[in-house]
Structure 1
Amino acid sequence: MFSYILRRVLYTIPIALGVTVICFLLVQLGPGDPINALLPEEATQEMIDQVKAEYGLDKPLPVQYATWLGHALTGDLGTSIATGRSVSTEIFSALGNTLMLAFGGMLVSFVVGLTLGSIAGSRQGTLSDRVVTGFAVTGVSVPHYWIAIVLVAIFAVGLHWLPAMGMGPRGSTGFALDWAHIQHFVLPIFALSLIPTGIIARSVRGSVSETYGQDFVQTLRAKGMPERQVFVHVARNACSAAIAVMGLQMAELLGGSILIETVFVWPGTGQLLNNAIFMRDLPILQGTILIMALIFVATNLVADILQALIDPRIRR
């Protein structure tokens, strides 16, 4: 098992390096000049050249990338062009709020998707199967932002059951485990987890259905094992598939958080990215995308290791 984990970690290193290249180049190839946000319209060419030199934007792209990567490896992601603050400070002050949403959505997606998929897969052709399949198809088809707006219109504006924006009551300075704060999580997490839940439910349904048709299940039944215990063996196989899909859906959760945070005015990296795009703040864009991409890579590494722990066939 140790050798398997070591191999997976070593494979992750070139992937992470490739992520840094893509993050740097995609932001650089975007339209617009970030210096325009700092200088007045009447700025002279000498002023423009001076500011570019201060931020290192006057050097060739390979030199800019090498400099940026060297600083990033030490935890220095640069300085925000718009605010003048450290990019690391800006990102990590917002990252915790985004991770609360993302991992909350991941937990809901995994539990609900695994449960619904197991029910549908073990009762093929029944009403339960059709209801779960219909829910899964609907969940996959509905965009994050649309369901978020509908939820706000129904539960916040219409029924006044839940708050429409923010992550806590007015005047709160942080998160607390009380209903006044938790209720702000309900609508964002539900909207964020809908698509991954549908995908996991469909994947688990197919895995459970396929597993029930395998020979070892018939052997267990022939030996007189109770159906509940047979289901435990089947669910263990389905859990491995759910973990694999959940690792891939982490990108959906992180990417969807940008729109969800905009709709619910959630102070996370989604709002930070949204503001940086309009301000053309390259250091914030590069740093935020890099951190979120590395979180996605790390999540998939953990998912691979969990799969190997649950299913010995993967280790072999």
Structure 2
Amino acid sequence: MSSFRKFLLRRSLTFLPTIFGVVLITYLIAYAIPADPVRAWAGGEKAKPEVIERLREYYHFDRPWYEQFYYFLVRLFEGSLISPRTGNTVFADIATRFSVTLQLALFSIFFAILIGLPLGLLAAYKRDTKIDTAVRILALIGVSMPVFLLGYLLILVFFTQFRVITLAGVPTSKVIITGIPLIDSIITLDFESLSQIVGRYWLPGFVLGFTGAGIIARFVRNSTVETLGADFVEYLSAKGIPTNWARRHVFKNSLVPIVTIIGLQFGAALSGAPITETIFGLPGLGAYAVQSIYYLDFPAIIGTTFVFAIIYVTTNFIVDVLYALIDPRVRY
């Protein structure tokens, strides 16, 4: 078996234990909450005892915690775990909200890379200058700025003052192909729908991506500065290789940590951004998770955690594969 196949096999074997561990920890935390979720599902203090009892039996809350967890786990993998709050299966609720979060994640990672990558490279090649200092200060502001503060400030400017964005509704495409309105409108050249989607998502995407841009800029700068001090850079310079060609090699050799942070940022955005989605009224996975916690909706909490875990594990796996393609030494 080749080293690359062994590398993929090792990474694949961590999938199920990681996902199982995340779901188990989430359930134990939810189980430890000193509250009666069944009574809340049945209507609170005015709930009828027979309704409470039926719900308790249906969700196995009259059994020990390990039997309850087994029930939730089986129903989860069967796809038949029902949210008592909505009456739908958890995966059905997640499916209707996933496209919103995916589009937000695409906009956020676009802005994060668009801002962070050039600034990080500029700071690295102009290190220890005023430009480098300015970029590092901007990156620090991006990392430190609370999302809710930046979001409300930009809403005040672009919605209240200039009225150039919308904060209501979720635009869709006229033709459904992939189920992702942004992608469908691009494929079908539906520029009217595309303009509506961009108008709805660009500001929350920028707010979510601004923090990521600061993190990416710092990692790009540090990785590039470290690579610029490598022996091969001096060798290329001694051979008289043009600066642009040398910078190509520098960029490729500094890609591993850059790919890492970009992958993690995209995974974080794709796992739902509860604050951003709440501020901008986007019915995505983050807002759904917050509502589930508020209403003690255990099935929805476990279902969203399960999906978030799959997203993170898959993102990390893709990043690891990119590692191995960029730098074969990672495979061993």
**TM score, norm. by length of structure 1:** 0.92
Q: Which residue number corresponds to residue 54 of structure 1?
A: 58
- Decide whether aligned partners of structure 1 residues 166 and 131 sit closer, same or farther in structure 2, where only a CA change above 3 A counts: farther
Matched, 1:187 2:203: yes
Q: Which residue number corresponds to residue 147 of structure 1?
A: 150
Q: Offset of 1:262 from its aligned partner?
A: 0.5
* Aligned-pair identity (%): 33
Matched, 1:241 2:243: no
Partners of 2:34 and 2:56 in 1: CA distance = 17
Q: Which residue number corresponds to residue 86 of structure 1?
A: 89
**In 1, are the aligned partners of 2:204 and 2:276 still within 8 Å (CA)?**
yes
Gaps of 5+ in 1: none
SS in 1 for 2:254: helix
Partners of 1:244 and 1:43 in 2: CA distance = 50
Gaps of 5+ in 2: 187-193
Residues 175-194 of structure 1: CA distance to partner in whole angstroms, max 9, x if unpaired? 34521221111101000111
The correspondence of residues 124-135 of structure 1 with structure 2, limited to 5 A, is 124-135=127-138
Q: Which residue number corresponds to residue 110 of structure 1?
A: 113
**In 1, are the aligned partners of 2:22 and 2:305 still within 8 Å (CA)?**
no
**In 1, are the aligned partners of 2:270 and 2:311 still within 8 Å (CA)?**
no
Partners of 2:169 and 2:253 in 1: CA distance = 40
Partners of 1:42 and 1:165 in 2: CA distance = 35
One-letter amino acid of the structure 1 residue matched with residue 60 of structure 2: G
The correspondence of residues 56-75 of structure 1 with structure 2, limited to 5 A, is 56-75=60-79
**In 2, are the aligned partners of 1:261 and 1:267 still within 8 Å (CA)?**
yes
Q: Offset of 1:43 from its aligned partner?
A: 4.0
Partners of 1:8 and 1:110 in 2: CA distance = 26
**In 2, are the aligned partners of 1:91 and 1:269 still within 8 Å (CA)?**
yes
Q: Offset of 1:237 from its aligned partner?
A: 2.0
**In 1, are the aligned partners of 2:272 and 2:285 still within 8 Å (CA)?**
no
Partners of 1:251 and 1:146 in 2: CA distance = 23
The correspondence of residues 237-276 of structure 1 with structure 2, limited to 5 A, is 237-250=253-266, 252-254=268-270, 257-276=273-292
Partners of 1:85 and 1:74 in 2: CA distance = 14
Partners of 2:152 and 2:46 in 1: CA distance = 42
- Decide whether aligned partners of structure 1 residues 40 and 163 sit closer, same or farther in structure 2, where only a CA change above 3 A counts: closer
Q: Offset of 1:46 from its aligned partner?
A: 4.8
One-letter amino acid of the structure 1 residue matched with residue 322 of structure 2: L
**In 2, are the aligned partners of 1:87 and 1:284 still within 8 Å (CA)?**
yes
Q: Which residue number corresponds to residue 232 of structure 2?
A: 216
Q: Which residue number corresponds to residue 309 of structure 1?
A: 325
Name whichever of 288-297 and 27-36 sits farther off: 27-36
Residues 56-102 of structure 1: CA distance to partner in whole angstroms, max 9, x if unpaired? 211111111122222222333x1111121111111111112112212
**In 2, are the aligned partners of 1:196 and 1:252 still within 8 Å (CA)?**
no
One-letter amino acid of the structure 2 residue matched with residue 30 of structure 1: I
Match of 2:19 among 12, 16, 19: 16
Structure 1: 4+ residue segments shifted above 6 A: none
Match of 1:231 among 229, 242, 247: 247
**In 2, are the aligned partners of 1:250 and 1:296 still within 8 Å (CA)?**
no
- Decide whether aligned partners of structure 1 residues 16 and 278 sit closer, same or farther in structure 2, where only a CA change above 3 A counts: closer
Matched, 1:288 2:304: yes
- Decide whether aligned partners of structure 1 residues 156 and 167 sit closer, same or farther in structure 2, where only a CA change above 3 A counts: same
Q: Offset of 1:31 from its aligned partner?
A: 3.9
- Decide whether aligned partners of structure 1 residues 287 and 203 sit closer, same or farther in structure 2, where only a CA change above 3 A counts: same
Residues 280-303 of structure 1: CA distance to partner in whole angstroms, max 9, x if unpaired? 211111111221122111111111
Partners of 1:17 and 1:85 in 2: CA distance = 23
One-letter amino acid of the structure 2 residue matched with residue 161 of structure 1: V
Partners of 1:249 and 1:67 in 2: CA distance = 33
One-letter amino acid of the structure 2 residue matched with residue 21 of structure 1: L
One-letter amino acid of the structure 2 residue matched with residue 61 of structure 1: W
- Decide whether aligned partners of structure 1 residues 75 and 193 sit closer, same or farther in structure 2, where only a CA change above 3 A counts: same
Question: RMSD between aligned alpha carbons?
Answer: 2.3
Aligned residues: 314
Residues 216-244 of structure 1: CA distance to partner in whole angstroms, max 9, x if unpaired? 10001101100111111111122221111
Residues 110-138 of structure 1: CA distance to partner in whole angstroms, max 9, x if unpaired? 34322221111111122331222111101
Partners of 1:194 and 1:150 in 2: CA distance = 13
Partners of 2:120 and 2:44 in 1: CA distance = 58
Q: Offset of 1:196 from its aligned partner?
A: 1.4
